[in-house]
Structure 1
Amino acid sequence: MDEDLRERVEREAERAALFNALKHGSDAQVGAIMGPLMGENPDFREHGDRIPGVIAPVIERVNGLDESAKRDRLEELDPEAVEELDAEEEEDEHDLPDLSNTDDGVKMRAAPNPNGPWHIGHARMPAVIGTYAERYDGEFIVRFDDTDPETKRPDLDAYDAILEDIEYLGFEPSEVYRASDRLDIYYEHARELIDAGGAYTCTCPQGDFSELKNSGEACPHREKDAETVHEEFDAMVDGEYESGDVVLRVRTDIDHKNPALRDFVAFRMIDTPHPREEAADYRCWPMLDFQSGIDDHLTGVTHIIRGIDLQDSAKKQRFVYNYFGWEYPEVVHWGHVQVDAYDVKLSTSTLKEKIGAGEYDGWDDPRVPTIKSLRRRGICGQAIVDAMVELGTSTSDVDLPISNIYAHNRELVDDETDRAFAVREGVRFEVAGGPGSAHPPVHPDHEDRGERDIPVGDSVMLEPDDVPEVGERVWLKGFGPFGREGDTLVYTDESIDIVREKDVPVVHWVPTDGSVSVRMRTMDGDVACFAEPGIESYDEGDLLQFERIGFVRIDEQTDRETVVYFTHE
């Protein structure tokens, strides 16, 4: 990296760190800065392995400034960024725009297809509608849209898994429905629609109907009398047809400018039995637009949030609502969300395929972009909610840097999380002199929590990047100053002033004797570590911060090793 590029990296990192620290009211972190830095400066990416080392001292310097100094410096570097911060402070307290027509109450729904556990993108819906329900003292219901037993076949374990994810995110639905329990309700409304002249049975091959539809010509079955339609629909319900033989269509406008809205399918035959025993005997299944539209009305939904790509759904459902004389709910459309940092796309079917092929250990593998994975890594559900709510409800597709979730989580857990030492690829050194044990604080900001007692023994291990050259000194955190003589670290009995005045680095370490073997599971694979003996006293599920490495969640404690999941820096 040449000097000009290095200076630009440092300048951009300083600007990003200042903005991040002022926005969140906390210290900036290398991990939180790397995403935006690389995103805004693509030419930095080829130097990605060197940039953390370049920007770490810059970020540390920024964190040493008080808020006023940070603001003054950001004003020098990027006045528009300061204006942006000021504008955010002046905005309404809510990240989400107000809903319209709320005088009669707010009732919103999440309508998952239970074809597998949720990936991170799925969290946006419960996060936003749950937040809206709290704001308006409204209701949040869950309806499993599981009426496709073939192409999006439900996973029987997913029903409970999704409800567990919603609970983890901090919400409790007031009602839970399974559409596959409600087939007779949909049949009843189909019959009412037939009586209203709004539906007819059609036996046209799909290709033939498409040609008619696209040319604006009516299906030859369109003018069947209601009695015949009822008879044929009853035969559908009784399972007398096979898949592809017949459908029930909603009569719309055959001249509609959008061919997709012309006489769309409401019910079709599916030969594959539903995996739920309660629904396994049904063969006549509603299409999602019909089923969802009926349920939204019957369950009292007042406001719907759905993807911008589903605008046709509202238009189709309005035809049905007009036949019944119902008022359509308020609709908010938004774009898709994509999360960075993962090598696999946010797709339940793709994840299911890769997990089934053994590429990942399961839905909570740290390399998998699922809510279960984040939970196992020690991410608070509230951190995910906060990051999703910040995205708002824009109709544009949005990118969510995983660092945003990490930043929110850091704010939630940092103050309560004890510290510990761990080293990766430890390099062993004999120790000469110094105290018999070290006493670093349990938490640097809370003296009242006391100190850790780490027996030192005859040798310690350092991380390779922290190994001093022969003749150089190093300060072992919580222990003291040492100089390297050959393969021995010799205690020098100097004051802490050497760290500031002579740039002696402060590093973490672990004693060789009594250290705990740790397997740290990360997004990049498993990492072997050694940790200080004290971590054995923590319970499974507890969070720790491995100093200078990051937060981890204790996943398993055995006599052989401790398994932790890496949370984030």
Structure 2
Amino acid sequence: MDDDLRERVRTEAEKHALFNAVKYESEADVGAVMGPLMGENPDFRPHGDEIPGVVGGVVADVNAMDGEERLERLLELDPELVAELEEEEQEDEHTLPDLPNAGEYEEIRMRQAPNPNGPWHIGHARMPSVIGTYKERYDGSFVVRFDDTDPETKRPDLDAYDAILSDIEYLGFEPDEVIRASDRVETYYDHARELIDLGGAYTCSCSGEEFSDLKNSAEACPHRDKDAETTREEFEAMVDGEYGAGEMVLRVRTDIEHKNPALRDWVAFRMIDTPHPREEAAEYRCWPMLDFQSGVDDHLTGVTHIIRGIDLQDSAKRQQFVYDYFDWEYPEVIHWGHVQVDEYDVKMSTSTIKELVEGGELAGWDDPRAPTIKSLRRRGIRGSAIVDAMIELGTSTSNVELSMSAIYANNRELVDDGANRYFFVRDGVDKQVVGGPEEGKPPLHPDHQDRGPRVIPVTGGVRVEPEDVPTNGERVWLKGYGCVRHTRDAFEYTGDDISAVREEGVQVVHWVPAEGSVPTRLRTPDGDVEGEAEPAFAEVDADEMVQFERIGFARVDDHGEDESVAYFAHK
């Protein structure tokens, strides 16, 4: 490389290194610089062996600067790149629309209100992703309130409380406040008593069928004009557990002739005989319905903005009656459509997944075939990769489809630089190697030569995948070793001239030693795949990400006596 070319490389590398460091507010990385540098400057490619050394020196200089110096130098070298960064920041900031009337509130407070009836599926990640992002934008508060006041139909799973909080942490957010509705039953009772005194509620012993007929006919039930004193007495009897399930309810007095029958005198409290699974709440039998409990809590916790599904529009309308009785101001509401996720055969439903787990069809909530956050986490998907994909969906009232490829693309950017490369061979075929070196030395990472090579012996032969065995007389390139010709059921070494690949089209294949390879099970959404990994794979720590060359990224799960286990992430 002559001096002029070296100077051009330095200049271009400096721009890309500065851009990388300023964009991510961190130190520049040689690997991140090499890709765009070589892509934009094809004439650099013949000097590919020398360029990483030049880039390494430039990156070291850039990393010695502070953030302000980097920005000033980038502005001096290429103002257009600085403008591009500013445009990206502006686009990122406005991926989600501004919250309605946000400027009218001293603090933005938003809540996630999960039902803890099981761990989360992927669709559940949308709400904390959006709320957490809004919290950061407005420097607001993120409240998690467990709506666990249905101990029968949506019976809480005691393990789900901590599991859900763990999932929120994995996505990158920390709630400012955590509330369990089942701890607040007395608060709901107090507000029910006040509502009764305001003339806003009455006790009703009509059967569900009887009231439904009356409601649909816009006729009041015979209990509607009951005096407040009688209603209070009967409500206290409900609180004391003197009624069984279905014998008595407390209704909010609305408009019995409302054009929407679903809003007519809706139930605020009902009797449930099944004890709550939480010991602290097991004594209660009179439980609030979600619309009453949630409406009260949103006001008492100062929630300013609510996000809920478009199918729950009636909830706001029901709760508005309660807010009007108490003279409260209703929060801002954003309704959005449902999110559908492609790729999975299993229905994205907590109850469905629970049935499959309990029936043994799934090994657990983190089975790679399950459309759950636990599954993605075990496969090595970073939480921020999910968040970014969810944010891109926006807050449209239309149903939206999340392509898993979007999550995988985000994750690939996050893990590629740190994931060392290894070989993994499925259904291997053994071949002796005649001639040539005693070992192959493929790099741990093609963009990080400083990490050195993996050393893989070939003295006992090599193992390759059946489709990678060429016909007799043809050649393949064993990556990190060299070119071999299939001759008399063996591989004859023919040299390490890379022109065989670049100019003659010889196929590059992965391989492991026939002796000393590591039995490995790769768990994938399509089922388990068995094979062997190269010896060095046994030294990779659990939870590390690797890339099995020509197969994809995987998270190392465990190294057992009989086999190692890895979970497939994506290609």
Identify the residue that residue 176 of structure 1 maps to in structure 2.
178
TM-aligned CA distance change 1:343 to 1:67, over 3 Å? farther
Q: Which one of 318, 337, 340 corresponds to residue 338 of structure 1?
A: 340
Alignment of 1:293-372 (within 5 A): 293-372=295-374
Alpha carbons of 1:349 and 1:488: their partners in 2 closer, same or farther (altered >3 Å)?
same
- Tell me the residue number matched to 1:405: 407
Q: Which residue of 2 aligns with 1:161?
A: 163
Answering whether residue 318 of structure 2 is matched by residue 290 of structure 1, we say no
Deviation at 1:190, TM superposition (A): 0.3
How far 1:423 sits from its partner (Å)? 0.7
Runs of 4+ displaced beyond 2 Å: 63-69, 87-94
Does the 8 Å contact 2:114/2:145 carry over to 1? Answer: yes
CA distance in 2, matches of 1:274, 1:450: 58
Using a 3 Å threshold, how does the CA distance of structure 1 residues 477 and 164 change in structure 2: closer, same or farther? same
Q: Which amino acid aligns with 1:388?
A: M
Match of 2:4 in 1: none
Show the counterpart of 1:280.
Answer: 282
The 3 A distance-change label for structure 1 pair 278 and 549 is same
C-alpha contact (below 8 Å) 2:427/2:466 kept by paired residues: yes
Q: Give the superposition deviation at 1:132.
A: 0.6
Counterpart pick for 2:438 among 436, 439, 445: 436
Q: 2: CA distance between counterparts of 1:334 and 1:130? A: 17
Answering whether residue 212 of structure 2 is matched by residue 231 of structure 1, we say no
Shift, 1:403, TM fit: 0.9
With over 3 angstroms needed to count, the CA separation of the structure-2 counterparts of 1:67 and 1:276, relative to structure 1, is farther
Mapped to 2, the partners of 1:240 and 1:205 lie a distance apart of 17
Q: Deviations over 1:442-501 (max 9, x none)?
A: 110111111111122221111122111111111111100011102101000151011111
SS at match of 1:529: strand
Matched with 2:94 is 94
1:256 counterpart residue number: 258
Residue 541 (str. 1) matches residue 546 (str. 2): no
2:507 alignment counterpart: 505
Task: Tell me how far apart the structure 1 counterparts of residues 152 and 281 of structure 2 sit (CA, whole Å).
Answer: 13
RMSD between superposed Cα atoms in Å: 1.8
- In 1, the alpha carbon distance for the partners of 2:363 and 2:174 equals 29
Aligned partners of 1:546 and 1:494: how far apart in 2? Answer: 23
Task: Quote the offset at 1:258 in angstroms.
Answer: 0.3
- The yes-or-no answer on 1:192 pairing with 2:194 is yes
Partners of 1:486 and 1:265 lie apart in 2 by 82
Unaligned runs of 5+ in 1: 1-24, 26-62, 70-86
CA distance in 2, matches of 1:183, 1:89: 45
**Paired residue secondary structure (1:95):** coil
User: Can you give the 5+ residue segments of structure 2 that lack an aligned partner in the other structure?
Assistant: 1-19, 21-35, 43-86
Structure 2 counterpart of 1:551, from 544, 550, 553: 553
Moved more, 234-243 or 216-225: 216-225
1:434 to partner: Cα distance: 1.3
Structure 1 position 525, deviation (Å): 0.9
Alignment partner, residue 565 of structure 2: 563
Question: How many Å separate the matches in 1 of 2:510 and 2:138?
Answer: 49
Counterpart amino acid of 2:528? Answer: D
The Cα of 1:427 is off from its aligned counterpart by: 1.3
Deviation at 1:542, TM superposition (A): 1.0
Q: CA deviation at 1:560?
A: 1.3
Q: Matched residue of 2:345: which SS?
A: coil
* CA distance in 1 between partners of 2:97 and 2:469 (Å): 53
Structure 1: which amino acid aligns with 2:549?
Answer: E
2:75 paired residue number: none
Using the alignment, how far apart are the partners of 1:195 and 1:527 within structure 2?
Answer: 66
Return closer, same or farther for 1:207/1:123 CA change in 2, 3 Å cut-off: same
Q: Quick one: distance in 2 between partners of 1:138 and 1:380?
A: 24
- How far is 1:95 from its partner? 1.4
Q: Which residue of 2 aligns with 1:448?
A: 450
CA distance in 2, matches of 1:481, 1:496: 8
Q: CA deviation at 1:94?
A: 2.5
CA distance in 1, matches of 2:471, 2:38: 31
CA 1:494 to 1:173, structure 2 compared with 1: closer, same or farther past 3 Å? Answer: closer
Q: Distance in 1 between matches of 2:350 and 2:283?
A: 27
Aligned-partner Cα distance in 2 for 1:194–1:174: 33
Tell me by how many angstroms 1:438 deviates: 1.1
**Equivalent residue number for residue 419 of structure 1:** 421
Distance of 1:427 and 1:314 partners within structure 2: 65
Which one-letter code corresponds to 1:368 in the other structure? A
1:500-524 deviation digits (Å, cap 9, x = unpaired)? 1111011111111110000111111
Largest Rg, 1 or 2: 2
Q: Could you say what secondary structure the match of 1:140 adopts?
A: strand
Distance across 1 between alignment mates of 2:493 and 2:540: 31
Residue 67 of structure 1: how far off its partner (Å): 6.6
How far does residue 147 in structure 1 lie from its aligned partner after superposition? 0.3
Tell me the amino acid that sits aligned with residue 99 of structure 1: L
1:318 positional shift: 0.7
How many residues matched?
A: 492
Given candidates 248, 269, 272, the residue that maps to 1:270 is 272
CA deviation string 1:500-554 (max 9, x = no partner): 1111011111111110000111111111010000011111111111011011111
Greater alpha carbon shift after TM alignment, 142-151 vs 534-543? 534-543
CA distance in 2, matches of 1:65, 1:563: 36
Q: 2:461 aligns with which of 459, 462, 465?
A: 459
Once residues 153 and 92 of structure 2 are traced to their aligned partners in structure 1, the CA distance between those partners, rounded to angstroms, is: 43
* Distance in 1 of aligned mates of 2:261 and 2:511: 68
CA distance in 1, matches of 2:237, 2:551: 66
CA distance in 2: counterparts of 1:143 and 1:95, whole angstroms? 26
Question: What corresponds to 1:81 in structure 2?
Answer: none
What amino acid is aligned across from residue 301 of structure 2 in structure 1? T
Q: CA deviation at 1:114?
A: 0.4
Offset at residue 386 of structure 1 (A): 0.7
Contact 2:337 2:400 in 1 (8 A): yes
Q: Please name the residue that 2:243 is paired with.
A: 241
| Inter-partner Cα distance in structure 2 for 1:336 and 1:155 | 24
Between the aligned partners of 1:534 and 1:92, the Cα distance in structure 2 is: 41
What TM-score comes out, normalization by structure 2 length? Answer: 0.84
| Aligned residues of 2:481 and 2:496 also touching (Cα < 8 A) | no
Aligned pair partner of 2:520 in 518, 531, 535: 518
> How far apart, in 1, do the equivalents of 2:430 and 2:393 lie?
47
SS in structure 2 opposite 1:492?
Answer: strand
* CA distance 1:396–1:495, shift in 2 (3 Å): same
SS of 1:354's equivalent in the other structure is helix
Q: Relative to structure 1, is the Cα distance of residues 158 and 92 closer, same or farther in structure 2, using a 3 angstrom cutoff? A: closer
Q: TM-score, normalised by structure 1?
A: 0.84
Deviation at 1:136, TM superposition (A): 0.6
Amino acid at match of 2:563: E
SS in 2 for 1:415: coil
Task: Tell me by how many angstroms 1:253 deviates.
Answer: 0.8
Out of 103, 109, 113, the residue aligned to residue 107 of structure 1 is 109
Aligned residue in 2 for 1:209 = 211
Please tell me the residue identity of whatever aligns with 1:527: V
Q: Deviations over 1:47-73 (max 9, x none)?
A: xxxxxxxxxxxxxxxx9994799xxxx
3-state SS of paired residue (1:267): strand
Query: Given the superposition, is the C-alpha separation of residues 443 and 513 from structure 1 closer, same or farther in structure 2, using an over 3 Å criterion?
Result: same
The one-letter code matched in structure 1 to 2:371 is: P
